[in-house]
């Protein structure tokens, strides 16, 4: 075995350069929903273990270098927050929102193999990829100006295909505009059309950690009649690596569970080996902040979004946000601004997302840059 385990001076220098670059880039990071305010230094000691939560988080494995007990705590927190039935929920910590959406649609396909997936044109790009991977029939529905699904188009399209069970992917906060598809309205349409068999999966990547902490949330949880939900962990909570949580009804998951003898657990997840560090990060944040801490965080972010809108409008720049959204939409600025601030843009609009690390000073500087580069 090679005893020389240290990096060369050149490699060390490359890492130092990379660290300084990341410091700079993270200081001008307002276009994407990733919270950079976190400190998990008390967990660094666990980096020396190959933590692997392979298989079902609720079934012990012969691979015992894992963080399953912490993952279960995380899942209980989310299940309570999303009002999942106490004796009929299941979930796991995922690699992020895409895997969570894949799991929800995979489960729907297994339950309704002839089903058609309905999703809006504002849905995250990963969903169309997931639909191809799962070979699911699907129809894209138009959206309203604010990014919310067009309920009349949904109703008419469902009516035309009412002989096929629908699988609805509801956006709980669209990517570009932060719009929420109203689950109550979707249920009303399904009842009016007398559709007895259906499945509703919610993509709540960002807003899944906002709506539980506001006074007037749109309907989005299990009590509102959903079947599964996916939320990101690295967005509002914050994590050094992408992660997320998916929750579903246990009675549905039980229908797809398979036993794997050589790992001594059930194969109920999309991935085999799963990151055992992410549950520790999420557990730590939940224990430190709790519901009251997350509520304070969300209130601050919403107030910062209103401040940003105010500053934009002071410069005669049209800016707005959806109800209960921290996504501030404004006209697409010039390329130098997009690059400097890492701003997401689509067609003629762009957005900033007032995550916990976004300050008034950052908002002011961004607005000055936009005004200063207008043609």
Task: List residues with catalytic annotation.
Answer: 325
DSSP string, 88-156: SEEEEEESSHHHHHHHHHHHHHHH-TT-EEEEETTS-HHHHHHHHHTT-EEEEE-B-TTS-B-HHHHHH
Residue with the two structure tokens 């929750």: 247
The span from the CA of 1 to the CA of 352, in Å, is 50
The span from the CA of 322 to the CA of 145, in Å, is 11
Backbone region of residue 173 per phi and psi (left: phi > 0; alpha: psi in -120 to 50; beta: other values): left
Residue with the two structure tokens 């009303």: 188
- CA distances to 222, 332, 336 from 370, in Å: 42, 10, 9
- Strands (DSSP E) found in the chain: 89-94, 116-120, 137-141, 166-171, 199-203, 228-232, 244-249, 258-260, 265-267, 327-331, 344-346, 349-353
The span from the CA of 58 to the CA of 317, in Å, is 51
> Largest Cα–Cα distance in the chain?
72
């Amino acid at each position: 075995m090679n005893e020389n385990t240290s990096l060369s001076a050149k490699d060390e220098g490359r890492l130092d350069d990379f660290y300084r670059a990341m410091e700079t880039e993270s200081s001008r990071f307002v276009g994407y929903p990733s919270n950079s305010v976190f400190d998990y230094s008390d967990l660094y000691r666990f980096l020396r273990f190959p933590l692997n939560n392979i298989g079902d988080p609720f079934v012990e494995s012969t691979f015992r270098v894992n963080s399953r007990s912490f993952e279960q705590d995380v899942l209980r927190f989310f299940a309570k927050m999303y009002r999942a039935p106490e004796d009929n929920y299941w979930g796991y910590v995922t690699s992020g929102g895409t895997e969570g959406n894949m799991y929800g649609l995979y489960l729907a396909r297994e339950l309704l193999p002839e089903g058609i997936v309905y999703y809006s044109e504002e849905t995250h790009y990963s969903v169309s990829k997931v639909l191809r991977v799962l070979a699911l029939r699907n129809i894209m529905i138009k959206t309203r100006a604010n990014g919310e699904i067009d309920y009349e188009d949904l109703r008419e399209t469902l009516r035309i295909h009412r002989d096929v069970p629908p699988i609805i992917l509801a956006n709980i906060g669209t990517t570009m505009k932060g719009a929420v598809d109203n689950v109550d309205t979707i249920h009303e349409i399904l009842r009016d059309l007398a559709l007895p068999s259906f499945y509703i999966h919610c993509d709540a990547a960002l807003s899944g950690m906002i709506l539980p902490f506001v006074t007037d949330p749109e309907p989005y949880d299990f009590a509102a009649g959903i079947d599964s939900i996916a939320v990101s962990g690295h967005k509002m909570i914050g994590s050094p690596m992408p992660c997320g949580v998916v929750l579903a009804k246990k009675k549905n998951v039980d229908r797809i569970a398979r036993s794997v003898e050589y790992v001594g657990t059930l194969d109920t997840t999309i991935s085999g080996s799963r990151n055992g560090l992410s549950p520790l990060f999420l557990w730590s944040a939940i224990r430190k902040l709790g519901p009251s801490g997350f509520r304070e965080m969300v209130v601050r972010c919403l107030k910062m979004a209103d401040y940003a809108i105010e500053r934009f409008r002071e410069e005669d720049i049209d800016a707005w946000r959806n109800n209960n959204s921290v996504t501030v939409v404004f006209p697409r600025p010039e390329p130098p601004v997009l690059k400097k601030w890492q701003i997401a843009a689509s067609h003629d609009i762009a957005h900033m997302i007032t995550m916990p690390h976004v300050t008034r000073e950052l908002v002011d500087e961004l607005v000055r840059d936009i005004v200063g580069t207008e043609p």
